[in-house]
Every structure is written in structure tokens, then in C-alpha cells.
Amino acid sequence: MDYPIEFRRHSAAHVMAAAIKQLFPEAKFGVGPVVEHGFYYDIDIGRPVTAEDLKAIQKGMQKIVNQNPAFVREEVDIDDAIKLFDELGQTYKLELLNDLKTKGTTKVSVEEAQDIDPQNVGSVTLYRTAEFVDLCRGPHVTEAKDIGVWKLHKVAGAYWRGKETNPQMQRIYGLCFATKEELAEYEAMVIEAEKRDHRKLGQELELFHIDEMVGKGLVLWLPKGAAVRQQVENLAMEMEGEYGYERVVTPHIAKEELFLTSGHLPYYKDDMYPAMVMDDGTYYMKAMNCPHHHIIYRHKPRSYRELPVRLAEYGTVYRNERSGTLAGLLRVRALAMNDAHIYCRKDQIKDEFKRVMELTMGYFKIFGLENFWFRLSKWSPDHLDKYVNEPDNWEYSQNVLREVLIEMDVPFKEIDNEAAFYGPKVDVMFKSVIGREETMSTVQLDFIAKTRFGLEYTDEKGEKNGEIFVIHRAPLSTHERFMAFLIEHYAGAFPLWLAPVQIAVLPVADRHVEFAQSLAKELSALGLRVSVDDSTESVGKKIRNAEKQKYPRMLVVGDREAGGGALTVRIHGEPDQQEISKEEFIKKSLHEIKSRTA
């Protein structure tokens, strides 16, 4: 039978738990949900799980699969289940059952919901596999042999129910696929992901540094990383200029009143840094740019002739992220956002949204990004506690966004009840070259700013009109997240236009250093980013070092080059070198940079 992969993975988690139970009879079990590419189970055996333990568990799993027990479902009264797991000494399962019985579903997490049925708190379902019995709502495969191809992957620590005050358990991860080919393909992707890890490459290529003395999640951009970052910002400035944006700069802090007006306090307070009490009021570091931009929009009277007004800024914002959630550049505490806010009339929403989409797709083409789709997040009229109660605006704007996505013929999905509280949004979803799916950026429509900030314009009749709609957009996400994405996308080998060092000049011997430096000076005067390796290493070692640094172009200069002959050019990743005149090399390089060839 061709079972859904989720069935196989959930069943594999039970087989693993059964093997653990045989090896460690006193083991206590938490939850064992399906995750992307496999499964995990949180267990407590009174000590850390070792590599030898993993081998023994995997061997035990294979033994159970060979015996091929069935997955047997039982439905029992919740009190009988409590009695059973009490007798088995399964304290973690007891906690889940007691919470379910006394508190309903409010204490049930997504992972825990795979173990219990939140729709029926009067009874629960159990599944038996070999000697193991688990609290689980299923479904599963029929027999153990049906779980597919699996392999235990790794062990990590995990607090019970994600709370640091709870006991720490051992989380054993496993991989599970329907075929050996799928497993092999995934493992090859993991190896590739390790090579492309932006944290590893960021250190090797000297792009950025995070230091405990500065603070977790606070990125120090090194000269090479700052050069790449600047090219991304230059691109944004150039393209936003073509699309009619005006650039602004706003402070890193603002008074409490601003964030109370915007609605971010108190609802977003936990994600903001603590208040600073000054002699003239209480200030906060900004966690978002939009309130500042709203003030810029309303600082003077606006006419309908000015609309739309497009304000752009690479503004740094600060988020009070928990230290345990920080991850390289993907999740940080200081973020430079490719931010902009478009102030427009209702009848301008479609055109402006389409222009944002065109701009976004233009960026993707430049960077060679292809594996993406869009998610249209809509409101739900059944949950007015979550959304601004403007039904006409919701329906109008959602229809407009849908029309644009259809007209542009891009892949998208519609998701109900996931909009922002102030309007619908479109998330740009990417699957990276290492298989990680993530939200790259978001375009949001805002109904509420006009009311909170009194945004208005003078219409054709000379009357004040408060129907101003705001489009929030950041197509290049933050510098930090986008840089992580680019590092992994290019595996650190940036195209010529984006590379921190575009050309490495490598003198063959000491007598060629003076010419190498003169050549580098000439190239630098043309705007090229050049370095000279004037070390005493052999030219072969210099080439290997330049390859490790992934410099896109290398010029090896010796007697012939110094004497005015053609340049010897090496291209990163290519074994052969070529000879080309200096004039032709410069012409080709400048053209490639200007055209931003990926």
C-alpha cells in the first residue's frame, strides 16, 4: 500500500520508541511527532543518549521491523488511559492527559496534538506496537514493515514542553522516506547544506563576526561582508529610484507615545527592548520603521496629485529575541530592513501592489532565484477579535491582490485566517538550494494606520479625505536574512558584481609586486574591488588561497605581464587559465558588473 509519508514517519517514531523501551525499560516518553524529512521522540533515560545508544536503538528498530508487528488502535476512556500510564510510570504522558482532562485544549501544542485528539476529551486513542503502548490519535501504517526507509539522524537536548524550567529530555531525530533513493538524495543535500552553511562560510570568507562581548544576535560586518551588503543596498537604491521611491532616514529610537499610537505597545512590548526613561519622556528602540514613516507622511498637507507617496529606507530596527532562538544571520537582534511604505488611495492599491510584485520579481531575476511561490494570507469574518472590522475593505483588497497574482501568472496559495490584524498580506516563500523553505519577505496592506495616525489627503474637490491605504513592503527582507540566503545560494562564490573582492592580483615573485600594486591601483581607480597577495608564498599557494576565498577573478602577473604583455586570467572554479589584453579584461569586467550577471 502506498501510505502518505506522514503516516510512515509517525509510525517510525513509534517503532523507535518501542526499541528504546526494550533497551531501557525505565525510559519515560514525551512526544514523538512528524517533522520535515522524518520524526523525533523526546525521551528521558536518566542520562544523555550516546552514539553507542543510537547504534543500539537503530539495531533494535530493525529487529522490530523484521518481526513486523501490527499497529493496533484502541479507543479508551480518558480516566482508563490515566490509570494505564500511571501504572506504566509514564509521568510525561500523565501530565498531557491531566491537562487535557482539566484544562481542555488550551494547553496542547502542535506537537502534542499529534498524540491526543483535541476534538474528543472524553476518550483518547492508544496505539500498540510490539511491547510499546502510546497515547496517539494516529493514523499509522498497518505493519512495521510498511514504515519505509529510515535512519537515526542525531540527538539534541530539549526541555519538556519547551519550557526552560521543565526537565531536559533527549530528543532523538530520525529520517524517513518511502524509498532508498529519496533518503540518499536527502543525505546528499545535507552534505551540500553543510558546505553552504552561511555561518561556516561567513567565518571562512571573513564576511561577518558575532562576539559575546558585543552581544548575541548583534552582527559585526567585516570589510568584505560590508562590501557585499553595500552592493545589495546600491541595487535597492537604484531600482527603487526607477520605481519612484523617495529615500528617508529615521532615528533608531522614539518616544513611547509613537508606539502607543501605532498599537505596538503594549501588544508587541515583549519583543521590544526595555524602555529608556529620559528627562523628557520614555523612549524605546524601534522594532519597526512604519510609525516613523507615517509621521513623515503626515508632517505636511498632502494633495491627491502627490499620491501615491513611496517612502523607502534601509532602517535598522531592534528585536528583543530570546538568546536561544538566535541563529547566525537568520535570526538576529539588530536588523537592517529593506523597508518601504506606500501611501495610496483605494483605487491605486492594485497598480501599486503590481509594481511591488514587478520590483520583487526583478530582484529575483538579477540574483538567479527561481524556486519560489507566494502565499496570500486572508482574514476570517468569523474571528473579528483578530481583525479590523472593515469587511468591504477586506473583500476589496483581497480580490485585488488575488487579481494581481493571477495576472502575473505566479504560483500562489490562499490561506484563510492568517492575515495581519490590519489587512491582508502576501508572503514570498522560498525553497533554498539546501532544501530549507522559509519566508523571504512580506507585502502587507494596512487599513488601520489612517485612523491611528490621522493620515489624509486633499481630494479633487478640495476636501479632506482620510481613506489612505498603506502598503508595507520589504522585498529583500533584511540585510542579515538576505545575506544568509545569498551566501548559501552562491555557496560563498558571489558573482563578479557582488563579490567583496572582485579581482585578486597574484605576483609570481617579489620582483613583480611593484607591478601588481600598480595594476591594482589602476583597476581600483575604475571602481573595481582589488586585492594584492604580496606574501612570500609560492604562486601556486597564492592561487589556492584565492580559490579558497572564492575570488571570481585572479590575475597571475610575472615577467611577461610586467613587460606589457597580455594578462593571465583565472576564473574561480575553472581549471584552465586564459590570456587576454588588459584593455579587453577591463572592458569585459566592467560590462559584467554593470549588467549584474548572476
Q: Where are the beta strands (DSSP E) in 57-188?
A: 72-77, 123-129, 132-135, 149-159, 168-177
Closest CA to 278 of 256, 260, 259, 263: 256
pLDDT for residue 104: 57
pLDDT for residue 440: 84
| Integer Cα distance of 76 and 74 in angstroms | 6
- Cell for 557? 602577473
Secondary-structure percent of the chain, ordered helix, strand, coil, rounded to 5 = 40, 25, 35
8 A C-beta contact, residue 338 and residue 236: yes
Cα torsion 71, 72, 75, 79: sign = negative
Helix residue spans in 368-472 (DSSP H) = 391-407, 449-453
pLDDT tens-digit map of 253-286: 999 999 999 988 887 888 999 999 999 999 999 9
| Integer Cα distance of 516 and 534 in angstroms | 8
Provide CB contacts within 8 A for 325, sequence distance 6+. Answer: 331
Closest CA to 68 of 130, 3, 136: 130
CATH superfamily assigned to domain 203-250+289-490: Bira Bifunctional Protein; Domain 2 (3.30.930.10)
- Residues in the chain, pLDDT under 50: 105-114, 118
CATH 3.40.50.800 domain extents, the chain: 503-594
Domain 503-594: which CATH class?
alpha beta
Residue with cell 537604491: 237
For 5-178, CATH number out of 3.30.980.10, 3.20.20.370, 1.20.120.1150, 3.40.50.1220 equals 3.30.980.10
Say whether the peptide bond before residue 69 is cis (omega within 30 degrees of 0).
no
| Integer Cα distance of 273 and 322 in angstroms | 11
pLDDT tens-digit map of 392-428: 889 998 999 999 999 999 999 999 998 888 889 999 9
Cβ neighbourhood burial of 23 (10 Å; 0-12, 13-18, 19+) = middle
8 A C-beta contact, residue 396 and residue 346: yes
CATH 3.30.980.10 domain extents, the chain: 5-178
Cβ neighbourhood burial of 280 (10 Å; 0-12, 13-18, 19+) = exposed
CATH 3.30.930.10 domain extents, the chain: 203-250+289-490
Residues 461, 464, 467, 470, Cα dihedral to 10°: 110
Closest CA to 341 of 296, 311, 314, 384: 311
| Integer Cα distance of 252 and 273 in angstroms | 12
Q: How many CB atoms lie within 10 A of CB 409?
A: 6
